[in-house]
């Protein structure tokens, strides 16, 4: 069982004060800590568990600068066998399509039964790369996966639906799965594990080495772009409806109609 996991290094913004950059298309992240994307952390753990059960290997792949090595080393410390970083200035500002194209170009030449991505990335929340990657690799996929069982050349999954519902699916291998948080409990990464990870393989590639041109990624290879980013204005406004129940209901219905909600 050969599993490839796509991981992303993202800024940790949970308890940080966020400011928009001068260009108005991103955030100022120079003073923010960076971590592995939360969904990807669960994906790595699930891949390692499956390989521990079935045998095989786990390869983690990331796109970004040299600083991504910290995230990749963490994945190796969790139990991944190999890591690949794709680094090239032309990759900057790639949208989901261009990102999936670059990942697919790496993965297509690697042996794989399963490819995992997180459901989404914490920094953009688009939830598109995994699905587009499956299309580019021409393999079946399932999204928001919360359970996985491999049986021969078939993988059985449960995917999360709205309202607490789940959907059971069977897919032929190879396949792409986007992993939801809560599918497992990611293991603690020890200092000893990180030291051992330093001895594992970490390969670095650029676009020319995977036969991609610069105009196939970045803004030139993207269908979408961020035109403006802003911090929403926080407003508090409440109106208390008085009178009898009938009067209050009539007033509420009138406001809903005027607001175009009914």
Does residue 240 sit within a domain? no
Does residue 62 sit within a domain? yes
Q: What is the CATH number of the domain that holds 119?
A: 3.40.50.620
Does residue 82 sit within a domain? yes
Q: What is the pLDDT of residue 202?
A: 92
pTM of the model: 0.86
Does residue 262 sit within a domain? no
Does residue 177 sit within a domain? yes
Give the count of domains, the chain.
1
Query: If you search the block for the tokens 């020890």, which residue do you land on?
Result: 190
With a cut of 80, say whether residue 189 has pLDDT above it. Answer: yes
Q: What is the pLDDT of residue 16?
A: 81
Helix, strand or coil, per DSSP, at residue 100: helix
Does residue 250 sit within a domain? no
Domain residues for the domain of 169 are 2-221
Does residue 230 sit within a domain? no
Does residue 57 sit within a domain? yes
Q: Which of 125, 130, 126, 124 is nearest to 25 (CA)?
A: 124
Span 16-66, pLDDT tens digits: 888 898 888 888 888 889 999 999 999 999 999 999 999 999 999 999 999
- Tell me what the mean pLDDT of segment 157-186 comes to: 96
């Amino acid at each position: 069982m050969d599993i490839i996991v796509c991981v992303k290094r993202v800024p940790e913004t949970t308890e940080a004060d966020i400011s928009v950059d001068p260009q108005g298309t991103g955030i100022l992240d120079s003073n923010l800590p960076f971590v592995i994307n939360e969904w990807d952390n669960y994906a790595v753990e699930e891949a390692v568990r499956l390989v521990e059960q079935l045998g095989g290997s786990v390869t983690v792949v990331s796109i970004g600068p040299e600083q991504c090595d910290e995230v990749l080393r963490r994945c190796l410390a969790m139990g991944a066998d190999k890591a690949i970083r794709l680094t090239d200035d032309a990759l900057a500002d790639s949208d989901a399509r261009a990102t999936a194209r670059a990942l697919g170009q790496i993965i297509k030449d690697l042996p794989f039964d399963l490819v995992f991505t997180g459901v989404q990335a914490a920094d953009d929340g688009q939830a598109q790369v995994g699905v587009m990657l499956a299309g580019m690799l021409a393999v079946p996929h399932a999204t928001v996966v919360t359970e996985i069982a491999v049986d021969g050349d078939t993988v059985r999954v449960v995917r999360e639906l709205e309202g607490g519902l789940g959907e059971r699916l069977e897919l032929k291998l190879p396949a792409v799965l986007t992993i939801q948080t809560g599918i497992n409990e990611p293991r603690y990464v020890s200092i000893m594990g990180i030291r051992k990870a330093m001895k594992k393989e970490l390969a670095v590639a650029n676009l020319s080495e995977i036969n991609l041109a610069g105009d196939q990624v970045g803004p030139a290879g993207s269908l979408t772009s961020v035109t403006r980013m802003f911090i929403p204005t926080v407003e508090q406004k409440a109106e208390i409806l008085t009178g009898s129940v009938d009067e209050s209901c009539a007033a509420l219905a009138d406001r809903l109609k005027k607001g175009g909600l009914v």
